[in-house]
Structure 1
Amino acid sequence: MENKNNIVKLPAFKDVEGPVLMLNMLKFKDRKYYFETYLPAFRKVTETLGIQDVKLRLACNVAANIVAPENEVWDAILLVEYPSAQAFKTIAESDAYRDMADQHRLTATADLRLYMTTPFAL
């Protein structure tokens, strides 16, 4: 995955089974546009593709950098649950995403990081 706000290549998600949580670290150009335009467009993509159970689990502002480089500043963190890694990949690589949502993401964000996570037993 390219780092400059464009999804170019997604890795093969080997041995990733079950639901995944995507950690989104966001720096906004336009926060309001992200939540009022991009997220509804993203929901429309999931509906169009028939992918259910994509859930926003956490949305919060970043209040302070505690253990991070001083110049690494993020505006918000979102945690989004997908039913599977394949569901995420299907959405991200789809023409529907490119046509209906991606331009809104690019308009709204200055930078982002995206991490796929899976649970583990303690």
Structure 2
Amino acid sequence: MKLPEFEEVEGPVLMLNMLKFKDREYYFETYLPAFRQVTEKLGITDVKARLVCNVVANVIAPENEAWDAILLVEYPSAKAFKTIAESDAYREIADPHRLAATADLHLYMTTPFEL
């Protein structure tokens, strides 16, 4: 996966994953363990799921926009995320499972801020 250039972001980033599944069970039971295997292989083990939720209703969204779940995943840095996503290990070990499990995915890089 070739990603756009990110300007260097200080500190952790939170990746908002908006998911539409082909196979929800396969995603959680096969893709996520494969993803964890990649992070361990690359030595980037401080990746943490911060929020995992089912989407139950569109409140303010186009009627035809339907997501099954959202995941908010914390990475230690934008560089760590990019290292994982562009790695041969991800492409070989995890990405085939992601493609098999998801019908659609939107992914947003975010940073936390204080209110």
Q: CA deviation at 1:13?
A: 1.3
SS at match of 2:84: helix
- Code of the aligned partner of 2:6: F
Matched, 1:22 2:8: no
Alpha-carbon displacement from aligned partner over 1:62-111 (angstroms, at most 9, x marks no partner): 01000100000000000000000000000000000001000000000000
* CA distance, structure 2, for counterparts of residue 52 and residue 85 of structure 1: 14
1:90 to 83, 90, 109: 83
The two structures, once aligned, show a CA RMSD in angstroms of 0.8
2:63 to 58, 66, 70: 70
Q: Which runs of 5+ in 2 are unaligned?
A: none
Matched, 1:106 2:99: yes
- Code of the aligned partner of 1:54: V
SS at match of 1:34: helix
Q: CA deviation at 1:49?
A: 0.2
* CA distance, structure 2, for counterparts of residue 60 and residue 121 of structure 1: 23
Q: CA deviation at 1:119?
A: 1.4
SS at match of 1:96: helix
Q: CA deviation at 1:42?
A: 0.0
Q: Which runs of 4+ in 1 moved over 3 A?
A: none
* CA distance, structure 2, for counterparts of residue 11 and residue 112 of structure 1: 16
Q: Matched residue pairs, number?
A: 115
